[in-house]
Copies of this chain bind each other. A is one copy, B any other.
């Protein structure tokens, strides 16, 4: 059980946008080059981030992606859920009379993790990134 590599890409791409390019749009080409992944695959992640309302896309020459919201509002949870979806970690496949006790426990634990990921913003990491 693991987060997909796509989430890894998305988080690193977002961190780059927040840290290096708060204003002007960055092309997939540049972003992919910086991260060392293929453009075509990375663009899928970025499109998901657009649909989730985290970033904004600009078509045409000198286009690319830039942040949409205030960068201080973008949490780890936002990015992760944009890629992974919002279905819960655990779903009981049995039919109980009432709600599954086991599911409640795991869901509660998951909530705690989500709470932490929601409070942690991408921008929180920026001060710790060594400047080139």
Interface residues of A (CB under 8 A from B): 1-5, 7-8, 11-12, 15, 35-36, 76, 80, 84-85, 87, 89-94, 97, 101-102, 105-106, 108-110, 112-114, 116-117, 120, 125, 128-130
Contacts and interface: CB of A to CB of B under 8 A. Distances in A.
A106 B12 contact: no
A125 B113 contact: no
Contacts of A120: 105, 109
Contacts of A35: 94
Contacts of A128: 101
A2 B87 contact: yes
Contact of A92 (B8, B90, B116): B8
A112 B116 contact: yes
A93 B74 CA distance: 22
Given A15-B102, A102-B12, A91 B2 contact: yes
